[in-house]
Structure 1
Amino acid sequence: MLAAPLASPRSAVAGKGYWARLLPPLALLACVTRVPSFLRPLWNPDEGYLAVQAEILARGGRLYETVVDRKPPLLPWLYEGLFAVFGSGSLAPVRAVAVLAQLTTAVLLASLARRRWGDRAGRTAGVLYLLVSVGLNPEDAQAAGFEVFILPCTAAAMWCADRRRWAAAGAAVACAFLTKQTGGAVLLPVLCLLHRYGPTRAATLRLAAGAVPPVLGAALVTDPAGFAFWTVTGSGAYASSFTGSELHVLARALTNTAILAAACAGLLPPVARALRIARTGAVDLWLWLAASAVAVTLGCHFFGHYFLQLTPPLALLATAALQVLPRERAMTAVRTSCCACALFLAWGMFAPRGELAHAQRLALTLDRRTAPGDRVLVWGMHPETYWLAGRAPATRYLTAGLLTNFSGGRDGPQVGEKYAVEGTWPVFRAELAARPPALVIDDSRGGPYGPARIPGLRRLLAAGYEQAGEVDGAVLYVRVPGE
């Protein structure tokens, strides 16, 4: 691939006219495809986890110390900043920024495609990406979660590398990694472009100079040891323990693959055609898709939102393929993608609210039975209950998953105290002894991480709590007077 020539004044004016015509429809399409995201207070537990983290940080907490997660810090900080400006009562500001993230991704992909294959390809890439960006279960596609904010960073890394802006490309790779670890997979296609353009020492150093300081800075601003443990070294069991859950994991993988394939029905035929005739020459894009597929597969969890990482390279590969196919194929791909997008938007509009309604009922119970300053413990996988109720968690561990290895929906035998993240139970017991929760909700609802299978939790409840009823299958425990 040759570098683009310097633009003449005439071509610069033409470029401005191109973007003036393209940006408004892309912005409108980005807004339309994200309409369902504003119809619920939240879509999935990841949003709830981030909201609770942001509130704790706003009260002076420290990431990886007073609140922990297996994710890097960039998105909790974004939530915290938006809460500081707009308040923490709604995720609408975060959803608006997610629209901007999707629009930014589409614009960067359009620019990449235009540079390589011309104006029509730029329009095609931007439109196709936005149409397929909602092609998953709405809980995955419409949430303002990690993958949505990875995508503009990965697209920016490829855009900068395509223009040999190596320091900026490295910084974009770092931002992708600091949003979620799997975002760092874009480093592979960036290195591919570096190799294509000639891996000079200066270019390699600029790439490293852009990538390393942001990661080191994030570690130093938080807690270096905690950052390393929670984002890299402490997640071995989470990433590898699926013994006994093989069918569960396989079903999720096949289901989400089928859903995304349906959304990409307009893209996959030209991509398959291009693969057969091998005329696109887009080695870096194939590597981007392959690296993203590895990121989806890593850990064998296969949650739907993981698959969002595949959509930018798929949109570009389809655009590349359409350049060597008859022009009517492009219109067919767009029309098919429009129909699929409409179906997924309708799904988002009318999707059932089962788990959200459950969390809202628990939050209402917390609000009625506790005072605003009370700390509570929700033993389950729905941290959003704390945010919906406006109550502070009694522990830094916002879900039972970190204490039992149930995280990821594993239903096999490797669930229990001995499979918890190393060192969590002594800290958990100390926190609850220092400030006992006013109310405990066992929200395991028959899951393998309930008190019957977790001796530590069972002893805690027996020592100072008594059962006080049930709400929607969750068991309530209140402190025994004098305990």
Structure 2
Amino acid sequence: MSPVSHTLTSSPRALAERLPERLRTGYWTRLVPLLAVLATLTHLPSFLRPVWSPDEGYLATQARMLADGGVLYDTVVDRKPPLLPWLYEACFALFGSASLWPLRTLAIVAHLATAILLASLARGRWGDKAGRYAGILYLLVSIGLSPEDTQAATFEVFMLPAMVAAFRYAERRRWLAAGIAVALCSLTKQTGGAVMLPVLWMLLQDTRRRGVRWPPALAKIGFGFALPIALVAVILTKPKGFLFWVVTGSGDYAGLGSDWPQMIGRALGNSAILMSAGLAFLLPFAHRLWLRHRKRPVPARGPEHGSTVDLWMWLASSVIAVSIGFHFFGHYYLQLMPPLVLLGVGAVATSAISWRPVLIYSALASSFFCVLAVLWPGQRLTQTTEVATAVAAQTTPKDTVLIWGMHPELYWLADRRPVTRYLTAGFLTNFSGGKGADKVGEQYSVAEAWQTFDNEISTNGFPEVVVDDSGTSPYQPDMVPRIATLLNTHYEVVGVTGDTVIYRLKK
């Protein structure tokens, strides 16, 4: 046998013999399965409830409307970008619309991808061990808020992989890819675009260090960012509708409200919860800052691995993003987790602090939040399910329904079509949680919303059932003349569940 033929026949055998060893000893082949198991365990409680938050209910209802021929930013509207509604629609087309388990599974995949990207970032800066612990600590901290905020398959969860990818690409000077990642992040949720700030900062620092011209790299970032957005805005949706609903139409919603105590309380409360979840690595991080402030030497296990100014810029941009609109909802704080984890991991990796107490505390805190999710009170969900069951009993699949409230999951749970494109009363009154009642009413609605609402009623007919889910909110029917007139003229009460009143069309 010739040497060449011997090489050809032995190479596959040699490759087969080497492959198992590589699988056993490779960094990523050992780490990724561990992270996958941890991502699944920390988010298993997400499968215990049909719906965790109104955002999930809104997305599910949107997806059904799109599947029935609705047009996004026309007959199907929201103040959010389109990627997640389309993802919900695709999952419903493949697996049916009766359950959100496919979205919950994809949410776990999104958390896993985020953890892997963070591990890659930390490994490049502080070594293998730091990379491994960055992925683990992120997954432990990822449930460190109210279960309604961390177990739901909502915008922030699916935004995080693209956000971390944008930072990672920028760190590696892959400017076109960084711009595309920022665009994908922004098309999942607008505030995800805040990661552009650290991307541009890294570009500036790179041009200073290397002495190269920045316009070509900036052009790559701009092109990468603009191309996906232009594709979505101009080709896949209606440009005017996209511009209004995603960019210009949220001014009143995002404006400063009058209920300062509630806003401040929510901001401080969610910050405290997140800090308690990440206390193990936030304390070493704070200790290092204190020593540097006092100009004392920092005990180290090894040399520093570069500046962390870019991480600080990332954290600052995320804080700005969380604060926009002054709502401070818990799920907004998911955007803070990646830069916080990296800063904390860096503080531990470059100090004499042991990893063991950090991991033990984080594991205990994560276990607490996991148990909390299992035991989380379900009174609101129970009431919503009872109302949805009553609505389904009072109607047929051909009937339309109006939910006058802020819980669009009722449409999805009842499996009934909305009579209007406005799935919450917020579009017609400018109500939003925690912003006070000073600018709530018909006159503060989305532009031309009431005219559109009246046209939909004229076209579709009066809804068979109206659910008044407003309770004592400032948009209750007595404070909104058009809804009060509609109910008093055409409807009668057929049921009351808790503070929710069910009306049926008079025969």
Opposite residue 278 of structure 2, the aligned amino acid is: C
Which residue is equivalent to 1:376? Answer: 401
Which residue is equivalent to 1:212? Answer: 226
Equivalent residue for 1:45, pick from 47, 54, 57: 54
Which residue is equivalent to 1:242? Answer: 257
Which residue is equivalent to 2:318? Answer: 292
Which residue is equivalent to 2:130? Answer: 121
Report how far residue 327 of structure 1 moved.
Answer: 4.4
Opposite residue 470 of structure 1, the aligned amino acid is: V
Opposite residue 465 of structure 2, the aligned amino acid is: L
Opposite residue 398 of structure 2, the aligned amino acid is: G
Structure 2 residue matching 1:325: 3-state secondary structure: coil
Report how far residue 200 of structure 1 moved.
Answer: 2.2
Equivalent residue for 1:97, pick from 89, 106, 124: 106
Which residue is equivalent to 2:242? Answer: 227
Report how far residue 397 of structure 1 moved.
Answer: 0.3
Report how far residue 40 of structure 1 moved.
Answer: 0.6
Determine if contact 2:23/2:29 at 8 Å carries over to the other structure.
no
Determine if contact 1:402/1:421 at 8 Å carries over to the other structure.
yes
Encode CA deviations 1:166-208: one digit per residue, 9 max, x unaligned.
1111111001100000000100111111112116222111111
Encode CA deviations 1:243-267: one digit per residue, 9 max, x unaligned.
2x11111111111111111111112
Aligned residues between the structures = 467
Separation in structure 2 between the aligned mates of residue 14 and residue 192 of structure 1, nearest angstrom: 38
Encode CA deviations 1:202-230: one digit per residue, 9 max, x unaligned.
21111111110111111121111111111
Which residue is equivalent to 1:321? Answer: 347
Separation in structure 2 between the aligned mates of residue 271 and residue 230 of structure 1, nearest angstrom: 40
Structure 2 residue matching 1:440: 3-state secondary structure: strand
Which residue is equivalent to 1:34? Answer: 43
Q: Does 1:442 align with 2:442?
A: no
Could you say if the C-alpha distance between residues 15 and 405 of structure 1 is closer, same or farther in structure 2, counting changes exceeding 3 Å? farther
Equivalent residue for 1:332, pick from 349, 357, 377: 357
Q: Does 1:178 align with 2:193?
A: no
Could you say if the C-alpha distance between residues 60 and 273 of structure 1 is closer, same or farther in structure 2, counting changes exceeding 3 Å? same
Structure 2 residue matching 1:468: 3-state secondary structure: strand
Q: Does 1:410 align with 2:411?
A: no
Which residue is equivalent to 1:458? Answer: 484
Encode CA deviations 1:41-92: one digit per residue, 9 max, x unaligned.
1100000000000011111111111111100001000000111111111100
Which residue is equivalent to 2:266? Answer: 252
Report how far residue 409 of structure 1 moved.
Answer: 3.9
Determine if contact 2:67/2:89 at 8 Å carries over to the other structure.
yes
Report how far residue 359 of structure 1 moved.
Answer: 1.2
Determine if contact 1:377/1:393 at 8 Å carries over to the other structure.
yes
Could you say if the C-alpha distance between residues 253 and 310 of structure 1 is closer, same or farther in structure 2, counting changes exceeding 3 Å? same
Determine if contact 1:70/1:230 at 8 Å carries over to the other structure.
yes
Report how far residue 103 of structure 1 moved.
Answer: 0.3
Equivalent residue for 2:203, pick from 187, 190, 194: 194
Q: TM-score, normalised by structure 2?
A: 0.90
Encode CA deviations 1:386-444: one digit per residue, 9 max, x unaligned.
00010000000000011111123433322111121222111112111222101111111
Opposite residue 91 of structure 1, the aligned amino acid is: L
Structure 1 residue matching 2:350: 3-state secondary structure: coil
Structure 2 residue matching 1:250: 3-state secondary structure: helix
Separation in structure 2 between the aligned mates of residue 325 and residue 184 of structure 1, nearest angstrom: 33
Separation in structure 2 between the aligned mates of residue 16 and residue 209 of structure 1, nearest angstrom: 40
Could you say if the C-alpha distance between residues 116 and 56 of structure 1 is closer, same or farther in structure 2, counting changes exceeding 3 Å? same
Moved more, 317-326 or 79-88: 317-326
Separation in structure 1 between the aligned mates of residue 170 and residue 472 of structure 2, nearest angstrom: 50
Separation in structure 2 between the aligned mates of residue 116 and residue 246 of structure 1, nearest angstrom: 41
Could you say if the C-alpha distance between residues 344 and 74 of structure 1 is closer, same or farther in structure 2, counting changes exceeding 3 Å? same
Equivalent residue for 1:467, pick from 477, 493, 497: 493
Separation in structure 2 between the aligned mates of residue 299 and residue 24 of structure 1, nearest angstrom: 39
Moved more, 150-159 or 196-205: 196-205
Encode CA deviations 1:317-360: one digit per residue, 9 max, x unaligned.
011111221141x2221111111101100100110112211211
Determine if contact 1:238/1:408 at 8 Å carries over to the other structure.
no
Separation in structure 1 between the aligned mates of residue 287 and residue 221 of structure 2, nearest angstrom: 35
Structure 1, unpaired ranges of 5+: 1-12
Determine if contact 2:149/2:331 at 8 Å carries over to the other structure.
yes
Structure index of larger Rg: 2
Structure 1 residue matching 2:97: 3-state secondary structure: coil
Q: Does 1:351 align with 2:366?
A: no
Determine if contact 2:24/2:30 at 8 Å carries over to the other structure.
no
1:119-158 alignment runs, 5 A limit: 119-158=128-167
Q: What is the alpha-carbon root mean square deviation over aligned residues?
A: 1.5
Q: TM-score, normalised by structure 1?
A: 0.94
Separation in structure 1 between the aligned mates of residue 376 and residue 502 of structure 2, nearest angstrom: 29
Determine if contact 1:241/1:414 at 8 Å carries over to the other structure.
no
Q: Does 1:261 align with 2:275?
A: yes
Equivalent residue for 1:426, pick from 451, 459, 474: 451
Which residue is equivalent to 1:10? Answer: none
Could you say if the C-alpha distance between residues 189 and 477 of structure 1 is closer, same or farther in structure 2, counting changes exceeding 3 Å? same
Opposite residue 65 of structure 2, the aligned amino acid is: I
Structure 2 residue matching 1:410: 3-state secondary structure: coil
Structure 1 residue matching 2:183: 3-state secondary structure: helix
